[in-house]
Amino acid sequence: MDTLRSIGETLLGLSKPSSALDVGQLCLRAAIVYLVMILFMRLAKKRSLGRATVFDAILGIIIGSTASRAVTGNAPFFGSLAAVLVLIAVHWLISLGARDWPGLGWLVKGQSDLLIKNGKVDRGELKRAHMTDDDLAEDLRQKGVSDPADVKEARLERDGVLSVIKR
């Protein structure tokens, strides 16, 4: 065990303050954290990196912040990695609960907003979504639609993407 501790100290500078880490130690820490993050994110649900809701985006920000502390030595190396694993587990559990309890799903993931119904733009929903007519027109063009009258339904989805069903 002492040999492992000595190797960890030499290669990773585990007991050094962050200002005393050398370039090699920082680079090795970065490589290890990168590989561990790949493993951890494979344990997370697939959608947490894809079409992210606010719930998923917050996880990414916190994981990045926590993992960076392991690289820079501003927090204990293994403690930071353990904290990331706990964050992923909590996210997974909340996601599981949100799947089974619609109220929790609404709270952590939100809901879509109906912006166009049968060619009519709902100005109140557009305003609540903090979107201008130009924003809506841009999103519609990206979906191949030039006129809202050609839309059966358009929703601002929970991930901020406009989905469009043409007439």
Which residues are CB-contacts of 148 (< 8 A; sequence separation ≥ 6)? 116, 119, 120, 121, 136, 140, 154
Instruction: Check: pTM over 0.85? Answer yes or no.
Output: no
Lowest-pLDDT choice from 4-8, 30-34, 93-97, 154-158: 4-8
Inter-residue long-range contacts of 73-81, CB under 8 Å, 24+ positions, other chains counted: 73/13, 73/16, 73/17, 73/18, 73/21, 73/25, 73/26, 73/29, 74/18, 76/14, 77/12, 77/14, 77/29, 81/33, 81/36
DSSP character string of 126-148:
HHHTT--HHHHHHHHHHTT-S-G
Q: Do 81 and 70 form a contact (C-beta atoms < 8 A)?
A: yes
pLDDT at 71: 93
Q: Are residues 63 and 120 in the same domain?
A: no
Compute the mean pLDDT over every residue in the chain, rounded to the nearest whole number.
89
What is the number of structural domains in the chain? 2
Q: In the chain, pLDDT over 70 holds for what percent of residues? A: 95
pLDDT tens digits for range 9-67: 788 888 888 888 889 989 889 999 999 998 888 877 655 555 677 788 888 899 999 99
Query: Rounded to an integer, what distance in angstroms lies between the CA atom of residue 158 and that of residue 110?
Result: 6
Domain encompassing residue 158:
112-166
Tell me, what CATH number does 144's domain have? 3.30.240.20
Q: Are residues 13 and 88 in the same domain?
A: yes
Q: Do 105 and 111 form a contact (C-beta atoms < 8 A)?
A: no
Token look-up 């191949």 returns: 144
